[in-house]
Amino acid sequence: MANLKAIRHRIKSVQSTQKITKAMKMVAAAKVRRAQARTLAARPFTKRVISLLKEIVHEVADVDLNEIALLKKRPINTVGLIVISSDRGLCGSYNSVVLRTALERIKNLQAQGKEVKLILVGLKAAGFFRSIKCEKLKNYTLLPAIPTVQEAKLIADQAAEFYINGQVDSVELISTEFINMLRSQVVNTKFLPVELPHSEDDNSLKPQTLFEPSINELLELELVPKYIENVIFQALLDASASELAARMNAMSSASTNANDLIQSLTLTYNRARQASITQELLEVVAGAEALKN
Amino acid sequence: MPGTLTLRIVTPERVVLEQPVEQVTAHAVDGELSILPDHEPLVTPLAIDMLHYKTNKEDEFAAVMGGILEVRNNEVTVLSDVAELDTEIDTARAHLAKERAEAEKTQKTDKMDVYVTEMAVSRAIARLKAVEYRQRKRKHV
């Protein structure tokens, strides 16, 4: 009898868990669609910035490019890693994949004799790297769920500052790229110094472009900051879309698992119930038989 | 019949506008400039101000919060962090933002803070200007 009660209890608890996972799945499904739309809406801007950068680089001598702090390459001793994770869990392997990749990269760089410093985005990364011996330059946690340009600017400016004042000699970005609802991929992008898109050197006659005030000022004050900001913004958007997609998938499979569990538990429960009824019947019949004699 | 320009205003969040226009007048960091069809290639940063363009002899306005303007092959592209068309601007909100920022500015002493509030003021002014110009033009018609 105690067994029956225990099973009933189990079924109830699995059912309530399923209710939660189902709700989370639906919320994530609704959000992921919007996040995907945002990610796609941001692409034209990124495309234009890159094509503009390409056209401008074409017109500037390499010597001039070296004068811009964010483009200048120097020997790499310390590497800054920006790791983008989520603030919340329950999203399958999303965070663990990002964090594992980051850890591998750190070990790899340390094996090469380079110092690694971290800039972490998201509570999960902050928690994971707390116990790991590595200098943390900055933590960004509990950013708004919908990434905006302002946050991207915040992170990009901070990273640029670390780069300019020499705390790091290069910056890499480890984040998740959103491919589709079922697939996303962890990517490692070189962030600073800015790798300029190389334009093919054709000597064809082109109308000379007018730059106001001057091409260097334009690059240094407007275009390069805009570019790095946009790289981060795009990464944040991709990360949020991937996180939501991962959560949706994780919750969907959790709901299915809960369903299976409920079914098998119900079967066991019914069997146990039937067994106990049979047992009781047998006892009654046996008692009656005994009285007859 | 002169040719037309294609005006494209792109922000990280969306493509605000993409349409043929006859003329674009923008405020660059070092002054106002007008662009007509067959303008020579040009790249320049923009100030936080309004942008004025003409389509089918109609005057239209937009508020652009800084950014870069590029002219090439009769295409005018504005890359900006934030941009709004005059019809999208929330006038009441812009008024509030302006008053708030101006009030805050008087309280700030730190140079950086003053700069930040000044930026907020100019953003609000750009929005209000775009709306005001539109209303003025509509009255004349």
From CA B133, how far away is CA B136, in angstroms rounded?
5
CA of B109 vs chain A CAs: smallest distance (Å): 23
pLDDT for res A83:
92
Cross-chain residue pair B68–A221, CB shorter than 8 Å: no
Q: Which of A209, A219, A237 would best serve as a mutation to test chain B binding (most B beta carbons within 10 A)?
A: A209
The DSSP symbol for A44 reads H
Task: Residue B18: list chain A partners with CB under 8 A.
Answer: none
CA of B137 vs chain A CAs: smallest distance (Å): 31
pLDDT for res B98:
85
pLDDT for res A197:
60
Nearest CA among A151, A147, A120, A149 for reference residue A136: A120
* Residue ranges of E strands in chain B: 5-10, 15-21, 23-28, 31-35, 42-55, 58-72, 75-79, 83-85
- What percent of chain B has a predicted confidence (pLDDT) above 70? 97
Across chain A, which has 293 residues, the per-10-residue mean pLDDT values are 83 95 94 90 86 77 71 84 90 91 92 90 91 86 85 89 89 90 87 69 60 77 85 91 93 96 95 93 94 83
ipTM surpasses 0.85:
no
Confidence label for B92 from pLDDT (cuts 50, 70 and 90): confident
Examine the residue annotation and report whether A134 is marked as an active-site residue of this protein. no
Structural domains of chain B sorted by starting position, each given as residue range(s) with its CATH number in brackets: 5-86 (2.60.15.10), 88-139 (1.20.5)
Cross-chain residue pair A233–B28, CB shorter than 8 Å: no
Higher pLDDT, A206 or B108: B108
- May I ask the CATH architecture of the domain A36-198+216-247? 3-Layer(aba) Sandwich (3.40)
Cross-chain residue pair A45–B68, CB shorter than 8 Å: no
pLDDT for res A2:
58
pLDDT for res B129:
85
CA of A230 vs chain B CAs: smallest distance (Å): 7
CB atoms inside a 10 Å sphere around CB B5: 25
pLDDT for res B1:
45
Q: Domain ranges in chain A? A: 36-198+216-247
pLDDT for res A12:
95
From CA B66, how far away is CA B72, in angstroms rounded?
19
Please answer whether residues B25 and B33 qualify as being in contact, where contact means their C-beta atoms are separated by less than 8 angstroms: yes
Q: At what angle do helices A224-292 and A149-164 cross, to 10 degrees?
A: 120
CA of B100 vs chain A CAs: smallest distance (Å): 20
Q: Which of A34, A148, A212, A224 would best serve as a mutation to test chain B binding (most B beta carbons within 10 A)?
A: A212
What are all long-range contacts of A276-282, with beta carbons under 8 Å and residues at least 24 apart?
A276/A1, A276/A4
Indicate if the pLDDT at residue B120 is higher than 60.
yes
Longest Cα separation, chain B: 56
Task: Residue A218: list chain B partners with CB under 8 A.
Answer: 43-45, 68
From CA B126, how far away is CA B116, in angstroms rounded?
16
Nearest beta carbon to residue B79 from set A49, A55, A56:
A49
- How many CB pairs (< 8 A) connect A and B? 67
pLDDT for res A62:
66
Q: Which residue, chain included where needed, has tokens 């101000």?
A: B49
> Which residues make Cβ contacts (< 8 Å) with residue A233, sequence separation at least 6?
A42, A147, A149, A152, B12
